[in-house]
Amino acid sequence: MVAQGNAFDYITHYHQDGEVFDYVEDVAYRPDDERRKQSVLSLCGAKRGQWLLDVGSGSGWFSQAMVRRGVQVIALDLSRRNLKRLQNETPAVFPLFADSNRLPLKNESLDWVAAIEVIEHLVHPLAALNEFRRVLKPGGYLLICVPYRERLVYNLCIHCNQLTPKNAHLHSFDLAKLIDLLQESGFTYHHHRLFLNKGISLLRLNSLWGWLPFPLWRGIDGLANRWTDKAMYIGVVARNVSEHRP
C-alpha cells in the first residue's frame, strides 16, 4: 500500500490495483468461486426496480447478476478501468468512481447496499458503514460479505521496509464483531450465513459436486460449517430501521 503520513493512501492503492490486476482474466473459474458467488447472490433479496449500490464492484459479476434480476444498479469502484469495462459489457449499470467513505449520493436514496469483500480492506470500516446507512432508505438493507475469522498475514515490503498485510486485508471478522460494527453505525442485524467450508474445499469436493443443485450443496456446506465452524466466508444482512439523523 502507498503510505501517506501514518495512514495508507487507499484511494491511490486501489486505483493502481485496478490498473494492474485484471479482475476478469486473472481470476480463473474455480468451483469454489462459483459456489461463493451463488452463496452471495442467495443472500441478496433486492427486487426488480429497486436501487442497489455495489460497493467495490471489481469485475462487476455481482452488478451484472443484479441487473439480470431487474435491479437498478450503481457500481462503485476506485478503478476507472474496471468501471469502463463493466459499462461496456452491461450498459444498464450506472458506473460511479468514488470513495466508499464519501458517497456522492443523496440521503435515503437506495434500497440496498452490497459490500462484497470490501470492509476488510478499509482503514476505518465504521466510516463507510455510516455512509451506507446515510444513503439507505428507512427499511433498506445492507449486505456485507467478508472472509470469516481470517488469520491476517503480514509480509515485509521490499520498497518501504514496513509490514504489509497480505491481500491488503486489514481486519478479521466473526459474527460478533460484525454485529457490533453494524450496531455502532445504527443498523439492526437481520440474518447471516456461513459458507464455503474449508474442509470441503481442501478435499476438492466442490469439483466433484459441481453437478449438485445449489440448494442441496448449500445444505451440505451449512451442516459442515455447523459441525466444524470452518467456513471461509460469512455474509450478514442488516437493516436500516430508523430514519436518517444528520
Q: Which residues are CB-neighbours of 177 under 8 A, at least 6 positions away?
A: none
| pLDDT on residue 46 | 98
Task: Say whether pTM exceeds 0.85.
Answer: yes
Grid coordinates representing 147 are 472472509
Between vectors from CA 171 to CA 181 and to CA 219, what angle results, nearest 5°?
75
Q: Cα separation of 31 and 25, whole Å?
A: 16
pLDDT along the chain (246 residues), means of 10: 43 57 56 95 98 96 98 96 95 96 96 97 95 97 97 77 79 97 97 97 94 97 97 98 60
Q: Which CATH superfamily is domain 3-239 in?
A: Vaccinia Virus protein VP39 (3.40.50.150)
| pLDDT on residue 1 | 34
How do the domains of the chain map onto residue ranges? 3-239
How would you write the chain as a 3-class SS string? Answer: CCEECCEECHHHHHHHHHHHCCCCCCCCCCHHHHHHHHHHHHHCCCCCCCEEEEECCCCCHHHHHHHHCCCEEEEEECCHHHHHHHHHHCCCCEEEECCCCCCCCCCCCEEEEEEECCHHHCCCHHHHHHHHHHHEEEEEEEEEEEEECCCCCEEECCCCCCEEEHHHCCCCECHHHHHHHHHHCCCEEEEEEEEEEHHHHHCCHHHHCCCCCHHHHHHHHHHHHHHHCCEEEEEEEEECCCCCCC
